Structure 1
Amino acid sequence: MQFLKQIFTWWNGQSLNTRFYTWRKGTFVGEDELGNRYYKAKSAVPDSIPERRWVIYKGYSDGSKVGPGWHGWLHHRVDVAPVQENYAPREWQKPHQENLTGTSGAYHPPGSIAVGGKPMKRVPDYKAWRPE
């Protein structure tokens, strides 16, 4: 079943092409607390960037599953992967929370009809000028 998912879907972990490319050129760098696996390979065009970096998600592919330390490494903001250094998140960095859009846990502003509220009465934010 996993093999068929890799042939016909791209949103469940990795596709067959990504599996082949990772097997052929990828070097395993590390794994995060969510089970995502990170790889790197030498770039085909070394003048642009020194290496190509990618992630293979565990389960559904969702970009919000990448933590801040790994995000910086994937986007070449830092040269050293979080597993190769003592990475500690800053006090203002929140732990991962999955994307809740489309679920019952999604944010709805006050008065949203999605949660059974009634729209708030519109109050003008300015007072029109009238000549006297």
Structure 2
Amino acid sequence: MGINLNPFTWWNGASWGTMIGLRGKTRVGDDALGNVYYEGGKDTNGNPRRWVIYAGANDSSRVAPEWFSWLHHQVDDLPDRSLPAPRAWEKPALPNLTGTNLAYRPPGALEKGGRRAAATGDYEAWTPDA
């Protein structure tokens, strides 16, 4: 898309207006996906305002879980300092894959051939004569 559409589009990154609005705010960190997080000012309840600037498409499912908790004031300090290290068995967070080729499709889905397992015998179809 480039620099020509940036002033007018918000769905593929921060527009110029957003970047101007972040002047004076503190950049507090970034995540593995390249999203950048800011903090500054106060909201009407006196809590600090927090923002995320997405790297790429604006999709809230692309925010890492630890940063989600920071954005929503579930933790006060930055995730690196306030949360325990990830466990070895934890899988990395994935964005919402709906609408992509990687989306989950159950065995009977048309995208997987439309064939499903036969009924197990505990199902009796309704007929109008019954």
Q: TM > 0.5 between the two?
A: yes
What's the CA shift string for 1:50-91, capped at 9, x where partnerless? 211010011111212211111110000000012344642356
Q: Distance in 2 between matches of 1:114 and 1:49?
A: 50
Q: Distance in 2 between matches of 1:68 and 1:90?
A: 14
In the other structure, the counterpart of 1:30 is 29
**Aligned 8 A contact 2:108 2:115 in 1:** yes
**Aligned 8 A contact 1:113 1:119 in 2:** no
In the other structure, the counterpart of 1:4 is 4
**Aligned 8 A contact 2:6 2:14 in 1:** yes
2:77 to 73, 77, 80: 80
Instruction: Please provide the CA RMSD for this pair.
Output: 2.8
Matched, 1:118 2:115: yes
Matched, 1:104 2:82: no
Q: What are the ranges of 5 or more consecutive residues in structure 2 without an aligned counterpart?
A: none
After TM superposition, the structure 1 = structure 2 runs for residues 19-58 of structure 1, keeping only pairs within 5 Å, are 19-23=19-23, 25-45=24-44, 48-58=45-55
TM-score w.r.t. length of structure 2: 0.78
In the other structure, the counterpart of 1:16 is 16
Identity of aligned residues (%): 44
In the other structure, the counterpart of 1:94 is 91
| Equivalent pairs, count | 125
For the residue of structure 1 that corresponds to 2:5, the secondary structure is helix
**Aligned 8 A contact 1:12 1:59 in 2:** yes
* Structure showing the higher helix proportion among its residues: 1
In the other structure, the counterpart of 2:68 is 71
What's the CA shift string for 1:25-50, capped at 9, x where partnerless? 311111112111100111153xx142
1:93 Cα deviation from its structure 2 partner? 4.6
Q: Distance in 2 between matches of 1:78 and 1:92?
A: 23
